[in-house]
Amino acid sequence: MKLLEGNTTIITGASRGIGSGIARVFAQHGSNIAFTFNSSSGPAKLLENELKEYGVKVKSYQSDASKFDSAQKLISNVIEDFGQINTLVNNAGITKDNLLMRMAEEDFDRVIEVNLKSVFNMTKAVQRTMLKQRSGSIINMSSVVGVKGNAGQTNYAASKAGIIGFSKSVALELGSRNIRCNVIAPGFIETEMTAKLDPTTVEQWRKGIPLKRGGTPDDIANTCVFLASDLSSYVTGQTIHVDGGMLT
């Protein structure tokens, strides 16, 4: 059963990791895909070709969601190319970890700009289209770190906590127009980035998780499908923890 047949979804930062996993699962469920990349043009083209095999319309866009004008231009281009936008997945994000006493101001500012300001930029840009449609689902990617904090990640934690407050406010503002806004807070998700970590450290992390494994991009993607589809038509303003029980 294809839950997103004929829909159009924008996914930011989808050329790799969790973003590419979301794009694949959405395409499998019949959604047309517009996704962004910042600098990874090679992986973006490979993903674009792969997704087209599912029989959906796909286009990648080089765009920096942290820049207000770039977000506005992106939405205009997607509307021109696809005609509608049903779901926005704000997935783009970076880390610049360090203890607060050693953290440079520019590292704090950049993480806030990419992780949090991008959510404002993209949501504001897509809002007019969704208001005209009187429908839409906005899915914002936070983190368990945004809920509980983490030493050495004050910038990242602040950005991801900010996403939660922002999303709750958007849900209150736009709910009367049938536009929903929800948050996913992933835990330890295993991607090509985590594959480079020390295996012993990774195994220790797995042991500390109640489900005794790291999550996969598909675990996040399946939750996104739920939030994008009519299965969640009465769900808005919520933060769903996809973390194997880490914060239980």
* Distance separating the N- and C-terminal Cα atoms of the chain: 32
Distance of alpha carbon 71 from alpha carbon 8, whole angstroms: 17
* Catalytic residue, candidates 54, 61, 156, 234: 156
> Long-range contacts: 16-19, Cβ < 8 Å, 24+?
16/40, 16/43, 16/191, 16/192, 17/191, 17/192, 17/193, 17/217, 18/91, 18/141, 18/186, 18/189, 18/191, 18/217, 18/220, 18/221, 19/89, 19/91, 19/92
Active site residue 156: yes
Residue positions annotated with a catalytic role: 156
